[in-house]
Amino acid sequence: QKPSDRLHGAYVIFFLLGIGSLLPWNFFITAKHYWMYKLQNCSDQASPAGQAPSDLRDFFESYISIASTVPSVLCLIGNFLLESLLPLVPRVPASVRILSSLFVMLVVFLVITMLVKVDTSAWTTGFFALTIGCVVVVSSASTVFSSSIFGLSSLFPMKNLRALISVCCPPAAPSRWDRALGFSVVGWLVFFLCCVWCFIMGGLYYMSSLKQSPSLATVPPNSSTEDEDEPAGTTNTSFLAKSTSIPPLRPILQKTALLGFCLFYVFFISIIIFPSLSSNIKSVSKSSGSLWSTKYFVPLTSFLLYNFADWCGRQITAWIQVPGPRSKLLPALVLLRTVFLPLFILSNYQPRAHIQTVVFNLDVYPVVFTALLGLSNGYLGTLVIIYGPKMVPKELAEAAGVVMTFYLMLGLAVGPACSVLIVHLL
């Protein structure tokens, strides 16, 4: 008999773990004014108005993106190669991987919290290096955490995977100090609660029932007949149990190749534009001095709007799942998102050094572009992630979920490198 998720406990836990998986990245990109202030070469008493932007401040977001995604990809590659090439090494249980990565993120966010009130004006370069180091460490731990929970969620009904990726960015605080301190403290508390949720997860009857019978983890009705003909329940993969079998890499890569490219390209385009390009698009009426054009335009039209549109796109997949995993329309729609690059480049991006042409010189244009970028990212990205584990037999669903995470992180790693080039050309 199929176990029931009474009171939606598993759904809520996966949703909260999804918040924990995205919190590090959202913290580093949302507290932009805090980082800009900390990276200026002046004391707390000096006025920043006359300070010329330094190279660190101009390219900080691109540096953060590279430091965040490149180690993540290397961790994913190393993790899979270790298990594939060294089968004699016992596989680390998912519970150990999740809890140890959460502990590392707890420690790093504690360090970041202590640095908020420290005057770093005398060692700006050192603070930048320390920040990049924290990004590398927390991103590596976050990758282990994300890949583990993504693989775990692939063993459960698709609504749990959708809950895992249906999260958005935290709100902003009034001042740069309150924002940075608030994000750090909230991040620390969320990671601590994630540890508690992991222990609760292991004790749920719903979880233990599915762990004993993986075949009960049903897939959506539009799964391929090829998948339905495969034997289910031949392996015992669980959150608390150690699996000694090594999933075959080649058939997983073959069956998820097209979807993997789609997932890579969706996030490749998104990370080029957000936040490096979109957060530097200024209001064309900024000279008027209004609160909207000087203070609220970028936070609302870039960060809040993008994350809200992205969240809406993810939620739509609960009711609409078209095109299908084998449809040619899916990669066509993914490739069509390339048009967002010239649209944002020709908006009012500032400062510009080379390309001075601004075609879309009204504030409504970047608002529409950002909404469409976030909506398409959430919808197409979620569809591809959901489809990935369905392309392989059920006993390989967890490994397929990890492979799809690799494609996602590869797009997030290559995108920032191209973003640095585009920002330099502008």
pLDDT at 29 over 90: no
Which structure tokens are listed for 381? 């990205």
DSSP letters along 158-190, please? HHHHHHHT---PPPPPSSHHHHHHHHHHHHHHH
* Bigger pLDDT: 103 vs 23: 103
* Bigger pLDDT: 362 vs 15: 362
Quote the pLDDT of residue 122: 84
Q: Which amino acid is at 392?
A: V
Structural domain includes residue 189: yes
Structural domain includes residue 275: yes
Q: Which of 21-25, 102-106, 162-166 has the lowest mean pLDDT?
A: 162-166
pLDDT at 311 over 90: no
Query: Model-level pTM?
Result: 0.70
Quote the pLDDT of residue 257: 94
Q: Which of 17-26, 30-39, 158-167 has the lowest mean pLDDT?
A: 158-167
Q: What is the mean pLDDT of the chain?
A: 75
pLDDT at 392 over 70: yes
Structural domain includes residue 317: yes
User: What are the tens digits of pLDDT across the range 136-145?
Assistant: 998 888 888 8
Domains identified in the chain, total number: 1
Cα–Cα dist 388/404, whole Å? 7
pLDDT at 218 over 60: no
Quote the pLDDT of residue 191: 59
Structural domain includes residue 120: yes
Quote the pLDDT of residue 222: 44
Cα 214 from chain centre: 27
* Bigger pLDDT: 345 vs 288: 345
Look up tokens 């004014």; give the residue. 33
If you average pLDDT over residues 287-314, what whole number do you get?
86
Expressed as residue numbers, the domain containing 47 is 6-425
Structural domain includes residue 1: no
DSSP letters along 111-149, please? HHHHHTTS--GGGHHHHHHHHHHHHHHHHHHHHHHHHHH
- Is residue 2 within 8 Å of residue 216, measured between CB atoms? yes
For residue 214, say if its preceding peptide bond is cis, omega within 30 degrees of 0.
no
Quote the pLDDT of residue 269: 95
Q: Which of 177-191, 217-231, 238-252, 316-330 has the lowest mean pLDDT?
A: 217-231
Quote the pLDDT of residue 243: 44
- Is residue 24 within 8 Å of residue 142, measured between CB atoms? yes
Cα–Cα dist 143/2, whole Å? 32
Q: Is 207 exposed, middle or buried (0-12, 13-18, 19+ CB in 10 A)?
A: buried
Instruction: Check which CATH number belongs to the domain holding 288 and give it.
Output: 1.20.1250
If you average pLDDT over residues 154-178, what whole number do you get?
57
- Is residue 412 within 8 Å of residue 69, measured between CB atoms? yes
Q: Tell me how far CA of residue 284 lies from CA of 279, 290, 353, 368, in angstroms.
A: 14, 12, 17, 15
Quote the pLDDT of residue 33: 74
DSSP helix/strand/coil, 360 = strand
- Is residue 422 within 8 Å of residue 272, measured between CB atoms? yes
For residue 231, say if its preceding peptide bond is cis, omega within 30 degrees of 0.
no
Structural domain includes residue 159: yes
